[in-house]
Amino acid sequence: MNGKNENNNKPTSFFPVPRFTPLMLVLGVESSCDETGVALYDSARGLLAHALYSQIAMHNEYGGVVPELASRDHIRRVLPLTRQVLAESGCTLTDLDGIAYTQGPGLAGALLVGAGMARALAFALDIPAVGVHHLEGHMLSPLISDTPPEFPFVALLVSGGHTQLMRVSGVGCYTLLGETLDDAAGEAFDKTAQLLGLGYPGGPALSKLAATGDAGHFSLPRPMLNSGDFDFSFSGLKTAVLTLVRRQGLEQAADIAAAFQAAAVEVLVSKSLAACAHSGVTRLVVAGGVGANTRLRERLTREAAARGIVVFYPKLEFCTDNGAMIAFAGAQRLAHASSADLTFAVKPRWDLATLDAV
């Protein structure tokens, strides 16, 4: 297998994160889609407090996220959540050394809520603010744990509309190895769940149903399993489920769910381990919503161990979108910020491989 988009001009860092960050208290704000997250991260004491409000109940009525409703709800939630984390941590606004917010990718209107709040508050407090890449937040979230991985490692990002494999040499030192060519894994889980009548969001419900089914009862394709690269494709798998549902109906929905999950997990596991072998590293980070999938964790941990690879996962509460990952990633960026730019622009589409190293 061959990697792609190699960037040999980027500096490579091998520092353990807790050692290079100056002492600072950072407020993190996440508002990229349908969850409002706020957190306080202290570079000396770690994560002090975090709070999250999910819009799932509101969007469930429509079968998916409605951008305008999402933006309006972020406006209602972000300040009360900020007050909550400050109260829980025993801190005040004047204690803050910096503010981090999700700059992209995501829904433009939703991103603007977090960006506007963060920049305005930073201006009022005369402290710096920094925009954070949503996927960088996910990718670095396992570093918040008590046993963080050391650089370098391979990261499997399975978050929302993204499925990517990255070689991570340091904060901002990312090489794209492969990505999905169509549907992301999370999208495939959600769309398959809809085909099975499970509602929105479908990933967790599908996994629960799959636990009661027989994965071997139906045979589904493993797209690009033997493609010779690290790219993914899940659109064909979703279409195969659609064909199966039309032919069989929903009487065996549990078996269909189990067969789909087994196919998706096999592809994710195989490609991830191949990427580790190609990159010559023995550490693998899994981050994003699909990273909470029990079947994926079980199989990946088992097969990785057989190859001498250690897998690191964020806590389950940090697999979904959250403010803690933004506060942490922002602390790393703020530690090396050269100026306090008060202008801002959100980036609904933003290539992770274009980030600067710190």
CB contact set of 113 (below 8 Å; sequence gap of 6+):
31, 71, 74, 75, 78
Q: Which residues pair with 166 in a beta bridge?
A: 155, 176
β-bridge mates for residue 52, sequence order: 37
Q: Write down the pLDDT at residue 354.
A: 76
pLDDT value of position 1: 52
Predicted pLDDT at 342? 56
Question: Could you tell me how far CA 1 lies from the centroid of its own chain?
Answer: 25
Supply the DSSP symbol for 36: E
The answer to whether 58 and 35 are in contact (CB under 8 A) is: no
d(CA 266, CA 56): 29
pLDDT < 50 regions, the chain: 2-21, 339
Identify whether 201 is preceded by a cis peptide bond (ω within 30 of 0). Answer: yes
pLDDT score, position 26: 98
Peptide bond before 152: cis, by omega within 30 degrees of 0? yes
The domains found in the chain, sorted by start residue, are 17-140+318-354 (3.30.420.40), 149-313 (3.30.420.40)
Q: What is the largest CA-CA distance in the chain?
A: 63
Identify the pLDDT of residue 340: 52
In this prediction, residue 20 carries a pLDDT of 42
Rounded to two decimals, what is the model's pTM?
0.88
- The tokens for 53 are 């409000």
Q: How far is C-alpha 265 from the chain's CA centre? A: 17
With residue 76 as reference, give the H or E element that holds it: helix 67-89
